Amino acid sequence: MNFSKLRNKLTAGAFALVLATVAGQAIAADSKKPIVIPTHNWSSQVVMAYVIGGIFESMGNNVDYKPADSQAVYEAIRLGDITISHEVWQSTFGKSFYNAMAKGGVIDAGTHAATTLEEMGVPQYVIDDNLCPGLPNWEALKNCKDVFASADSQGKGRWLEGPQSWHGDLMPVRVKALGLGDDYVVKFAGGADAIWAELASAKKEGRGIITFNWTPNFTDAEGFVFIEFPEYSDGCRVADGGDGACGSPKGWLKKAANYKFPKTHPAAYTAFSKMSFTTGQIGQMAALVDVDKLSHQDAAKKWLADNEAVWKSFTM
Amino acid sequence: MNFLSDHPKLVQFAGLLVVFFILQFAISPSDSNFLWRLPAFLAAVPEMLNSSVEYAMFEWMPIQTYNVEIEDYEESALLMEVTRSMSRSVLFCIEFIREILVGGQKTIVAFTSWDFVSENDWAYWPALPWTVVAGVGVTLGYALNGRWLAVLVGCATTYIAVFGQWEPAMETLSFVLIAAPASVLLGVILAVVAFKSRAFETALMPLLNVAQTMPHFSYLVPVTVFFGVGDHAGAIATVIFATPPMIRLTLLGLKGVSPEVLEAGEMNGCNKVQLMFKVLIPTARHDILVGVNQVIMQCLAMAVIASFIGAKGLGFNLLLALNQLRIGQALELGICIVLIAVVLDKLSLGWANKQIDYFADLSFVERHKYSLIMVAILVIGIVLAGIGSLIFKDGINYFYLIPHNQGLTTEDFWQSGVDWIVDNWYSNLQVFNVGLIVNVLIPMKNAYLSMPVAATFVLVMGIAYIVGGIRSSLVVGGLLLFIASTEWWDRALITAYMATFGVVVSATIGLITGSLCAQNRFATKAILLVCDTFQTFPSFIYLIPVIMLFGVTDTSVLIAVIIYATIPATRYTVEGLSNVPQSLQDAGSMSGVNRMQRWLQIELPLAFPHIMLGVNQTVVFALFMVIIGAMIGTDDLGQLILKSLSDEFGIGNGLMLGLCVAFIGLAVDQILRTWASERKKALGVA
């Protein structure tokens, strides 16, 4: 333990020295105050929090983890209670992120390589069992509202959307704009847990279900097929002046930081801004917990040990 | 005819209904008709509230401070500096206790600096071995209340340790150990001031009413803005939630002290301070203890919610487990929360009931025997941990700390249980589910939404008038007017529909269960234990299986509501019936009533006022759970409160929505409380 700390410190020291010589000027060392990393309630985010924390620690920084609500976290970053956020999903958190940025105090610390898709879709077996012929093309929905009906949908098919805080009225507007208003209703679930519970229950029965979901996610492992809506184009949404009859864009996955972070921890910030995980890597992190049933900390340790080449490049 | 003149209120009530239905059909639903929906006068208030809070926090009385780390001046504001320094001191206390229990370095940092800690690897406070904490707990239990409490503490701590939940459990404990005493202290102080000053009491009461009926979700955002995110924020939100019942019960106790006792104190020459601490508070001990019990229950009930704003420990792990649908794991965590609640409750009860023997003449060893035993346990525990590090070669010292991934687990058992239920019950329950939704819930919801605002006002104010007179009617009207003037009247109607359904079912179940259990001493005790357990057991755990069975529907929300809201209905019924004087029951038996008659004609009417208070609590609990139902998926006020966590005007929206929910609760409270006290007067038991 002590030895490895010492070694880390030596490497970090040597690293700083080399940089200093190369740049020909002294580089301010990182503050020893802990970098506060938020943990939310889904696996890939928590594992990635420990992975990033592990990378920072390897550079000789102190790290602290704080549980936080995934929407309220941006206000906390703005005020400096939390230092970074490493999974800013475009369509779900984009609004909170930019609201906080507009008030001042949050900076954009780059984008991950992973592209995200946040869209309505069906579990793989709905396609395999051909419950609704023609899917994933959205036009197929016109003929199978009964397959997707639920107890309270009064005969219509149901789209199970995330809470209203995620995308407001996007889906109800889309249902109407696509001319599906007579056959489908949108129900807002209270959170991700509710969606997973419905998916698990539907799978047991082999019953049809349309839910909001995203990728990369742990559901990728079991298979989840996103419905192909008319392609997204700039300005097609109602908020941008369009009619709303389009699918979701491929989204970005950003990183956010408090505005003081680059000054207080220059080396850690440099590494953080270089950090970029791919869809596959995020999937691996989630799978270690969701499939292999490791604890989040153990999963992060294992990932760091297995992928040293990947993350070492961020720290150089 | 006689019947009608005997029951004038029934006539009034019938008249009221007639007027209500006339209005219902006469008023046409259109947005411009203010009898149908009031215009939203208060629509701009959330934004104003928001900007004034933000102004006070970030702009009022600006201070420039030089930040060494970024080598620049930072703008800050006075209020922000004040609240942040409060946060730091609360956090220091929590970290201090936490590091005694599980180790760490933040307390050392508080006296030195991060640089110091990073440079000196020895600067780390080691955790106490779990055996020591458990041993000290057992000794404490034995010292305070004998063998059984010691056994209870022993079982609870061993369970937590063996199941590998030691670290999160101690994290939760450390913040409860700050929040609970703070709530008790604050509660007692405020109650004493209110007891001394009539004016203060009048000012405090409405605040208490609002604090007790406001859903905790709605003040999470303000708390984070004022105090930041972290364990301290969780603790502060918990204190806001747990203090009101403490104040109320302490005040009740102080007011109940008979003047003779006071006079005896005065005659013995007590000064004012002595009178308060040596006479009044000890005499009011019973009610104060009920308050302490409530504080502990409330603190642990907040364990999960507090993790939304940064509290570490069992609550956060529980949410994480639920997100992976690992219900077994969540259940084990939930049991830990309940165990901590029970142990803390019994220990505090034992401590308060301990009589000091002023005349005992004891030697040093006799006087300090428990402290000596604890020191011995500390030494033995540390030695044991030392031996453990030699025995267990794989790096895990089971005598020191059992890590989360090495504990026992019964997860698979519970998981297969849940799977079995979903597999076997789903299709049968589906028939019930569809039937309930189509035949009852949807018509009921539509009926609520089709009420013109004028008709609602007439109905509710009319009932308040019949029950409590013009004053009640005006109070209730004022509360409704506030809700009707926001943009959320329709949402509030949906909340009201779910709460009504939940309350009717819960009160019925509670009344029946309570009545049955009150017939037998053993059953009474058992049911009260069940009530305590369910009050602290995190409701989030059963939300998931309920969703699997009933889907994201109102049925799921209502089942969760009923499970939770039945607790007070049952508890108060049992208490009310148990307190019916034996002499009256004997008198009834002598007059030849049978069991059924005795229950209907004697016990229920006498217990009625107390039961009404239970129904009152049922309304509050039901409203709470309807709001938490937003986590399943609702379209009422709760969904908007949840949304306010990410809103631009989150503080304003959250607070206003919270007030709307609180005012629904207070309107019902006004009616039921007046009714109960009228009945008490009529029965001569007031």
Return the CATH number at A133. 3.40.190.100
CATH number at residue A259: 3.40.190.10
Phi and psi at A121, nearest 5°, equal -165, -175
Shared domain check, B211 and B155: no
Query: How far B434 CA sits from the closest chain A CA (Å)?
Result: 5
Shared domain check, A263 and A290: yes
State the pLDDT at residue B685.
62
Of the candidates A207, A240, A273, which is a domain's last residue? A240
More confident residue, B596 or A111: A111
How much of chain A is in helix, strand and coil states, percent to nearest 5? 45, 20, 35
At A268-310, the pLDDT tens digits run: 999 999 999 998 898 888 888 888 888 899 999 999 999 999 9
For residue A245, being part of any structural domain is answered with no
Which has the closest alpha carbon to B325: A272, A116, A218?
A218
State the pLDDT at residue B486.
92
Query: How far A54 CA sits from the closest chain B CA (Å)?
Result: 16
CA distance A167 to A186: 12
State the pLDDT at residue B12.
87
Shared domain check, B649 and B516: yes
Which residues have a Cβ under 8 Å from the Cβ of A215 and sit 6 or more positions away?
A116, A117, A224, A226, A279
Which has the closest alpha carbon to B212: B337, B298, B341, B286?
B298
Of the candidates B275, B309, B327, which is a domain's last residue? B327
Shared domain check, A267 and A233: no
- Whether B115 contacts chain A with CB within 8 A: yes
At B502-550, the pLDDT tens digits run: 999 999 999 999 999 988 889 998 998 888 888 888 888 888 888 888 9
Shared domain check, A288 and A179: no
Shared domain check, B402 and B259: no
Burial B211-226 (b: 16+ CB within 10 A, else e): bbbbbbbbbbbbbbbb
What is the number of structural domains in chain B? Answer: 4
CA distance A91 to A87: 12
Task: Confirm if B544 and B325 have CB atoms less than 8 A apart.
Answer: yes
For residue A236, being part of any structural domain is answered with yes
Shared domain check, A61 and A121: no
- Bridge partners, residue A107, by sequence: A257
Shared domain check, B120 and B132: no
For residue B633, being part of any structural domain is answered with yes
Shared domain check, B142 and B178: no
Of the candidates A212, A240, A268, which is a domain's last residue? A240
CA distance B233 to B310: 7
Beta-carbon count within 10 A of B310 CB:
29
Of how many residues is chain A composed? 316
Tokens at residue B206, please? 């409405």
Structural domain for A22, as ranges? 2-114+252-315
For residue A280, being part of any structural domain is answered with yes
For residue A246, being part of any structural domain is answered with no
Interface of B with A in 430-449 (CB under 8 A): 430, 433-434, 437-438, 441-442
Shared domain check, B213 and B315: yes
Q: Closest residue of B to A96, CA-based?
A: B646
Taking an 8 Å cut-off on Cβ atoms, the answer to whether A68 and B220 are in contact is no
Of the candidates A219, A240, A261, which is a domain's last residue? A240
- Whether B309 contacts chain A with CB within 8 A: yes
Beta-carbon count within 10 A of B353 CB:
11
- Whether B552 contacts chain A with CB within 8 A: yes
Taking an 8 Å cut-off on Cβ atoms, the answer to whether B224 and A189 are in contact is no
Instruction: Using an 8 Å CB-CB cutoff, list chain B residues near A85.
Output: none
* pLDDT beyond 70 at A28: no
User: Long-range contacts: A17-22, Cβ < 8 Å, 24+?
Assistant: none
Section A165-189 average pLDDT: 89
State the pLDDT at residue A8.
53
Shared domain check, B509 and B639: yes
Instruction: Using an 8 Å CB-CB cutoff, list chain B residues near A26.
Output: none
Name the pLDDT band for A18 (thresholds 50, 70, 90): very low
Section A28-46 average pLDDT: 87
Task: Confirm if B500 and B628 have CB atoms less than 8 A apart.
Answer: no
Section B287-309 average pLDDT: 88
DSSP-based three-state secondary structure for A112: coil
For residue A299, being part of any structural domain is answered with yes
DSSP-based three-state secondary structure for A305: helix
Structural domain for B293, as ranges? 173-327
Which has the closest alpha carbon to B669: B205, B314, B243?
B205
Which has the closest alpha carbon to A154: B85, B648, B437?
B437
The model's pTM is 0.87
Burial B125-154 (b: 16+ CB within 10 A, else e): bebbbbbbbbbbbbbbbbbbbeeebbebbb
- Whether B366 contacts chain A with CB within 8 A: no
For residue B320, being part of any structural domain is answered with yes
Query: How far A194 CA sits from the closest chain B CA (Å)?
Result: 6
At B66-104, the pLDDT tens digits run: 877 777 787 788 888 899 899 999 999 999 999 988 888
Taking an 8 Å cut-off on Cβ atoms, the answer to whether A150 and B553 are in contact is yes
Shared domain check, A267 and A308: yes
Shared domain check, A60 and A20: yes
For residue B75, being part of any structural domain is answered with yes
CA distance B518 to B525: 9
**Dihedral over Cα of B83, B88, B90, B91: its sign:** positive
Instruction: Using an 8 Å CB-CB cutoff, list chain B residues near A295.
Output: 404-405
Which has the closest alpha carbon to A95: A113, A118, A115?
A118
- Whether B221 contacts chain A with CB within 8 A: yes
Shared domain check, B499 and B648: yes
At A45-66, the pLDDT tens digits run: 999 999 999 999 999 999 999 9
State the pLDDT at residue B580.
82
Shared domain check, B526 and B392: no
For residue B635, being part of any structural domain is answered with yes
